[in-house]
Chains A and B, each alone.
Chain A
């Protein structure tokens, strides 16, 4: 038996260490972001002259103003929002229905389909660029946002499907059977009982696909040549010129590009909190 005081001390020490370690990890993970922010507000003339400092002696919003008013960046940005948003939406819809089927039904060829989906994930993307270009070109889908959305959706569906399947697997079958007995068709039971319980899973999938599409560079670079259909990762490259890299503007653009991703996660974070199904079945 330890005295209450002693155990409280131990508890404090335990939680202290706990938070210290989390803080250390967060600092480690966020430091590059901090640096991004720092460089973006550093005036160009002192970027190289001041040496490595944690915070510049002067700060400026010039880089932001330039990026927002005089570059194509807002346009790239909109393109990225459209591409990532639709990719996330389509992928999630497809993954939700496919994942549900995988989780609940036994059907012929299921193994084959699963195997095929896994195989698609094994190829290095570089190998696929040429054939995909050859397929999309005659369809008029190169140099277009639609083409990018289709390609991104196709590439994200397998993983998203397996992710969704694991969420559906976590929801007891009894629930939709009870709903079907209560008077739902299977689809209604899916929509009214299962989907609400899978919101955390859908949110996670949305977030995952959105960020994947948001930061994709390879296809965006290869399938799109015109400025009008470029996404922001491609746009970032335009700050690299023959004569040097405009770090300040590039970082400012980078900070701006973080905003939608952050906003998106803020939006879905309340669904990311798990445990909604607790109490459905025993225990």
Chain B
């Protein structure tokens, strides 16, 4: 097991810059999830750690040693591919033992290691099969097994679950987490699925456009997103955004939307009158209220999505779609006008120009760690 330090790592393909200076310290034994939309450079970063992709500039160190010029085979890392990449002409056992055999490990030791891992992953009955005689989920397990058998310095996963159906994905998610707790191995896990990121990560690295947007624990990222991208990407259903102009009066601050609707908010320090701001509120932080209780704004009901446990109410506020999450089962008529109120402690204010979040002075959390 080892730590991984990435210092100002860049990657360009010819004139195209794909990664613009990544800095990331991964602790020994940590489970890091790289998350971001398609094409943001997650796989590229992972492949640079693996040594499959050259580093244009910057350093990557594994266990304190800079590995920039080491071949993949000398980095002692294991990788699980999205496609699994099982060797088709080898049995499951041979697939799993390949790396050990290459290292001239004694045959008894190899088969003991294979048996041990096969036991953990429930592959004992499949050891003599070829990959083509396996189901997708079994192949996935074999790919995991092949990585585990080696006891490498670090595990790299590139969207290992994206070819599985929803139920199996959920199951493997828990299983990978349990395995990680058991093996304690440093892991870097790439996904574009924010639920996988939230549920699996010790720390999430949110990437966009070749830049790390924020690093933090899942709840830090959820509760205190650094900018509009992170706020919109993490969380499902996604955060609602309303942009407008800041108006400071004696009563306090309010956001004036395009149509003149005024939403009061708790002002972060240093906002100024007339500043363009974006208000972000998660669907669970907007309440449907009776007339006249809290400072509320009117909205029109568009759609009601009952999901059993909860209900998602789609409304239109000042011409913008807004989603409201509620555990109640509201009895609302489509096209009727309701009053909604924003939970002021929980709504976020972003600068519309920089898209950065403006933290309030009295936030319930400690300062940013990113």
Residues of A within 8 A of B (CB): 172, 174-175, 177-185, 193, 196-197, 276-283
Residues of B within 8 A of A (CB): 50-52, 71-73, 75, 77-79, 81-89, 98-99, 102-103, 130-134, 136, 139, 146, 150, 163
Taken together as a complex, chains A and B put the C-alpha atoms of A78 and B133 apart, in Å, by 45
- Pick the residue among A177, A181, A278, A282 that contacts B136 (CB under 8 A): A282
Please name all residues of chain B whose beta carbon is closer than 8 Å to the beta carbon of A197 when the two chains form the complex: 88-89
CB distance from A110 to the nearest CB of B (A): 14
Say yes or no: B85 contacts A180, CB within 8 Å.
no
Please name all residues of chain A whose beta carbon is closer than 8 Å to the beta carbon of B51 when the two chains form the complex: 180-181
Say yes or no: A182 contacts B98, CB within 8 Å.
yes
19 contacts between A and B (CB under 8 A): A172-B85, A174-B85, A177-B72, A177-B81, A178-B81, A179-B87, A180-B51, A180-B52, A180-B71, A181-B52, A181-B75, A197-B89, A277-B88, A278-B132, A279-B132, A279-B133, A280-B83, A280-B88, A282-B83
Please name all residues of chain B whose beta carbon is closer than 8 Å to the beta carbon of A279 when the two chains form the complex: 86, 88, 130-134, 139
* Given known contacts A174-B83, A281-B84, A180 and B136 CB-to-CB distance under 8 angstroms: no
Please name all residues of chain A whose beta carbon is closer than 8 Å to the beta carbon of B102 when the two chains form the complex: 182-184
Say yes or no: A181 contacts B88, CB within 8 Å.
no
Please name all residues of chain B whose beta carbon is closer than 8 Å to the beta carbon of A185 when the two chains form the complex: 71, 73
Return the chain B residue nearest A278 by Cβ. B132
Taken together as a complex, chains A and B put the C-alpha atoms of A281 and B78 apart, in Å, by 17
Residue from B50, B98, B163 whose CB has the most chain A CB atoms within 10 Å = B98
CB distance from A154 to the nearest CB of B (A): 33
Please name all residues of chain B whose beta carbon is closer than 8 Å to the beta carbon of A174 when the two chains form the complex: 81, 83, 85
Say yes or no: B71 contacts A276, CB within 8 Å.
no
CB distance from A242 to the nearest CB of B (A): 58
CB distance from A133 to the nearest CB of B (A): 45
CB distance from A197 to the nearest CB of B (A): 6
Taken together as a complex, chains A and B put the C-alpha atoms of A279 and B136 apart, in Å, by 9
Taken together as a complex, chains A and B put the C-alpha atoms of A73 and B314 apart, in Å, by 89
CB distance from A191 to the nearest CB of B (A): 12
Please name all residues of chain A whose beta carbon is closer than 8 Å to the beta carbon of B81 when the two chains form the complex: 174, 177-178
Residue from B79, B81, B102 whose CB has the most chain A CB atoms within 10 Å = B81
Please name all residues of chain B whose beta carbon is closer than 8 Å to the beta carbon of A196 when the two chains form the complex: 89
Return the chain A residue nearest B53 by Cβ. A177
Taken together as a complex, chains A and B put the C-alpha atoms of A66 and B232 apart, in Å, by 88
CB distance from A270 to the nearest CB of B (A): 14
CB distance from A97 to the nearest CB of B (A): 20
CB distance from B134 to the nearest CB of A (A): 7
* Top-10 shortest CB links A-B: A279-B132, A281-B83, A174-B85, A182-B99, A183-B102, A279-B131, A178-B85, A280-B88, A278-B132, A180-B72
- Pick the residue among A182, A183, A278 that contacts B88 (CB under 8 A): A278
Taken together as a complex, chains A and B put the C-alpha atoms of A277 and B132 apart, in Å, by 8
CB distance from B225 to the nearest CB of A (A): 33
Return the chain B residue nearest A275 by Cβ. B132
* Given known contacts A279-B131, A282-B139, A282-B163, A181 and B78 CB-to-CB distance under 8 angstroms: yes
Please name all residues of chain B whose beta carbon is closer than 8 Å to the beta carbon of A280 when the two chains form the complex: 83, 85-88, 131-132
